[in-house]
Structure 1
């Protein structure tokens, strides 16, 4: 599906959110345009399960462009402590099926070979237990030839390589870790080699490692917001330097190979 159509649909969906949420969603539109557009290329009108998507735009965007979507989350992050039901009404309004569960502890709860695509964005780095068992369930739930798309922050992106030697590089704020009874921040951020490890363990085929740079688009400084799209275009060919990295791989079918590549979709 063309990016312009997806972008327009997401902007329309954002207006259905409460007013105080709309400003934060504005800079998310471009990122979710990429996510929704990529998934719609993989499985137009297909069945999608999104893990840990919360109340954001991705699952509603997929449903709005014609996919059958199941959203699985425990909705226990601080951002979901108020108005969650109201926000999820937006999802229900476009047909998203919502499953409330801790996937690492309780599993996916999906039927075998029931999904064309399973996605999870900016969630794995928050999990306190190994995702190995969960990702085995992912492959079981995918149809033969189905796709897994995992998006995470890169622990060794270019910005961190510059700022960490200068003494700046904390993953989470002190208040998020110290003041709250349950820490929901980043536990372990992966890198490109980690994504390749996961792909190998899941026995995925047609594997691609993609890189993007989204964080600067929501920066408080207007110069950073202006420069981020230009920097993004330069760094995409080097996922190891990007702020956001993606593993895209396919459940084996009888005709698949097993090459791992780093490239554009």
Structure 2
């Protein structure tokens, strides 16, 4: 799918192939041909990859991130061509706009940490939009991963660059990164069942230094059993069957 994008985007997207293949595999393992809504996926590979795998996909995003300032319509043509339904909306402010019980899976990856308002009301709507027994999959960066535990005492660990916050009229960087306890809090609030917390380590795979890129897969395999130390953490939970 990355080869279908404009040439200047392909190299960056190719770094995403392994991560997005993992995301798509999680969803297809739950509902191989179900209805999926992805929140905040932007112009990336996940939603179009799910559609290519045979799922019915709705992509919901306001497309207001800096990376979407140019050529967004052209990039989304790849999604439309793959059968993805596009909904442009600010979900925290305006809600999902999905019919109750209409989705088998709702996903959101690397989006919640950018939201300036509480997602509590939105996540209640997520539960309503899921069919009984449907799945919610939330992926976020871990605010206390192993690297940060080492670098913060050394004076390095800012979530966002100064320029992203100070020079732009609207800040779209990380507002609050969660940890594993926060994900379990969300699961309890949503009354999810069959809850799992999954840990992976993706950030080093695209690092400029070749040694970091080489070591990241090794470190990832070691840390997967300790999601509290991983750079990327996932909440997977199910809407109760009797709701």
| Superposed pair shares fold, TM > 0.5 | yes
Query: Under TM normalisation by the shorter chain, which class is it?
Result: over 0.9
The Cα shift of 1:164 comes to 0.2
The Cα shift of 1:71 comes to 0.1
CA distance in 1, matches of 2:165, 2:5: 29
CA distance in 2, matches of 1:221, 1:90: 32
The Cα shift of 1:27 comes to 1.2
Larger mean Cα displacement after TM superposition, 19-28 or 118-127: 19-28
TM-score normalised to structure 1 length: 0.90
CA distance in 2, matches of 1:73, 1:61: 17
Aligned residues: 242
Select which of 134, 142, 149 maps to 1:146.
134
Structure 1, unaligned stretches of length 5 or more? 1-12, 253-263
Match of 1:176 in 2: 164
The Cα shift of 1:127 comes to 0.1
TM-score normalised to structure 2 length: 0.98
Select which of 168, 183, 187 maps to 1:195.
183
The Cα shift of 1:184 comes to 0.1
Per-residue CA deviation, residues 155-198 of structure 1 (Å, 9 max, x unaligned), is 00000000000000000000000000000000000000000000
CA distance in 2, matches of 1:218, 1:117: 28
1:115 aligns with 2:103: yes
The Cα shift of 1:26 comes to 1.2
CA distance in 1, matches of 2:12, 2:151: 25
CA distance in 2, matches of 1:140, 1:17: 34
SS at match of 2:59: strand
Select which of 133, 142, 146 maps to 2:121.
133
CA distance in 1, matches of 2:90, 2:142: 24
The Cα shift of 1:112 comes to 0.1
Larger mean Cα displacement after TM superposition, 222-231 or 194-203: 222-231
CA distance in 1, matches of 2:160, 2:174: 7
CA distance in 1, matches of 2:106, 2:221: 27
Match of 1:67 in 2: 55
The Cα shift of 1:82 comes to 0.2
CA distance in 1, matches of 2:79, 2:160: 29
CA distance in 2, matches of 1:212, 1:232: 6
The Cα shift of 1:218 comes to 0.7
Structure 2, unaligned stretches of length 5 or more? none
The Cα shift of 1:22 comes to 0.7
